[in-house]
Amino acid sequence: MMPFEMTQFVGRSASPFAGNQMTDPLGRLKRALAGRRVLVVEDEFLTVDEIALAFARLGVGLIGPAQSLKRAMELLESGGHLDGAVLDINLRGGMVYPLADVLRKRGVPFIFATGYNQEVIPERYRDVPLCLKPIDPLNLVHALFPDSVGSPGSPTK
């Protein structure tokens, strides 16, 4: 697998959402994301608030949010299908990796939303997309569901 490069998202972040395109990229994105359920694990209120607002606009169902590993595990065990997860790495001093392990076992895609850089992330998670803080919610959706938006210039279903 190719190592993930942040520049992918930096480069394409603006274009699919610009309002003056011939197509309707936002509408297309909303249709692609409709009904998806995404767990959000993040201990900072303002970040959660921003993600929640973006999810509401895009029609993405927010599961949680959870501000601690314990709460996140409870949400996970309480059932319900998950299409993806957004994980802050450091949660009130605890690390999110045990949750990431469970998600990986269940085949739920996830991304890290964090101020950490790639070097401090354990080897086994080096291929997980990283959204650096401050979070751009649209970048985040791109990173989590690359299939929903396609690459710039490529035909989209």
Partner 1 sequence: MVTWKVTVREDGSRHLALEWRESELKLRNSSDTEKRRFGRRMIEEGLPYQLDAKTQFAPFDDGMLCSIEMPLGYERRAGGDDAI
Interface ranges with partner 1 (CB under 8 A) = 43-46, 48-49, 65, 67
CB of 64 to partner 1, least distance (A): 11
Tokens of 59: 């029609």
Q: Give CA–CA dist 132/124, Å, rounded.
A: 19
Give the end-to-end CA distance of the chain in Å, rounded to a whole number.
24
Tokens of 116: 């950490």
- Among 154, 149, 116, 124, residue whose Cα is nearest residue 6: 116
Nearer Cβ to partner 1 (49/74)? 49
Which residues lie below 8 Å from residue 104, measured CB to CB, with a gap of 6+? Answer: 110
Q: Give CA–CA dist 65/129, Å, rounded.
A: 20
CB of 65 to partner 1, least distance (A): 8
CB of 29 to partner 1, least distance (A): 25
Nearer Cβ to partner 1 (32/86)? 86
Burial class (CB in 10 A: 0-12, 13-18, 19+), 24: exposed
Nearer Cβ to partner 1 (81/92)? 92
CB of 128 to partner 1, least distance (A): 25
Nearer Cβ to partner 1 (6/52)? 52
